[in-house]
Chain A
Amino acid sequence: QKEVEQNSGPLSVPEGAIASLNCTYSDRGSQSFFWYRQYSGKSPELIMFIYSNGDKEDGRFTAQLNKASQYVSLLIRDSQPSDSATYLCAVKYDMRFGAGTRLTVKP
């Protein structure tokens, strides 16, 4: 069974801090990885995707991929209260989603 695992949290960080969200996956053949943000009562929205080992930065968000260790992470710098949401990791081979990590950024 191909699995995507995330710490369900909740994760709480103060405003301005770095929030670190982690995801591990079981299928070594996976090629592409996605982070979605889902506000309560809303549908998921794509934040970032990453295909290659290393870091990919987009504004305050950095995705990190380590295929040897089979994990992908999302760092949110200068966290804002508006970042409070559930973050979902997804792996492309059949677009399976992790359980999601609920992030709360406290003012």
Chain B
Amino acid sequence: SAVISQKPSRDICQRGTSLTIQCQVDSQVTMMFWYRQQPGQSLTLIATANQGSEATYESGFVIDKFPISRPNLTFSTLTVSNMSPEDSSIYLCSVNEVPSYNEQFFGPGTRLTVL
């Protein structure tokens, strides 16, 4: 399976600031996704990162708050903008591999705390 790394692994940020999370994969992947997992909760899909085009956002998530980039088939970033304590969560990058595109694998996650 693909090896997925995320940076940073954790961060503590002040209210009103922004944080960019990076996701790097060691092989080309068809699909990349960003999830949020709040404490004690399941995973919520934020958006699908599309290579070369704008990300596709789920209901309740908007580009102004969570801008996403995907410049190539191995890398994506998620920015959490104008943060508030409610954004404190674990953010997970996930990928579908080529050719087993139905199997989805997760990165180690970024634990974000907003004060």
Bound form: Cα–Cα A43–B106 in Å:
6
Least CB distance from A94 to B in Å reads 7
Bound form: Cα–Cα A49–B58 in Å:
24
Taking a contact as CB atoms under 8 Å apart, the answer to whether A43 and B92 are in contact is: yes
- For the complex of A and B, list the 9 residue pairs with the smallest distance between their C-beta atoms, beginning with the closest: A43-B106, A97-B43, A99-B42, A97-B42, A43-B109, A100-B42, A44-B106, A32-B102, A43-B108
Least CB distance from B82 to A in Å reads 26
List which A54-92 residues lie within 8 A (CB) of chain B.
88, 90, 92
On whether A49 and B42 interact (CB within 8 A), knowing A43-B92, A43-B109, A95-B33, the answer reads no
List which B5-40 residues lie within 8 A (CB) of chain A.
33
Binding site for A on B (CB under 8 A): 33, 41-45, 58, 92, 94, 102-109
Can you list 25 residue pairs at the A/B interface with Cβ under 8 Å? A34-B104, A42-B108, A43-B92, A43-B108, A43-B109, A44-B92, A45-B106, A46-B104, A49-B102, A49-B103, A51-B102, A88-B42, A88-B43, A90-B104, A94-B45, A94-B58, A95-B33, A95-B45, A95-B94, A95-B104, A97-B42, A97-B43, A99-B41, A99-B42, A100-B42
Q: Which residue of B lies closest to A44 (CB)?
A: B106
A-B contacts at CB below 8 angstroms, number: 37
Taking a contact as CB atoms under 8 Å apart, the answer to whether A46 and B41 are in contact is: no
Chain A residues with a Cβ closer than 8 Å to the other chain, count:
19
Given A94-B45, A96-B45, A100-B42, 5 more A-B residue pairs with CB atoms under 8 Å apart are A46-B104, A49-B102, A51-B102, A94-B58, A98-B42
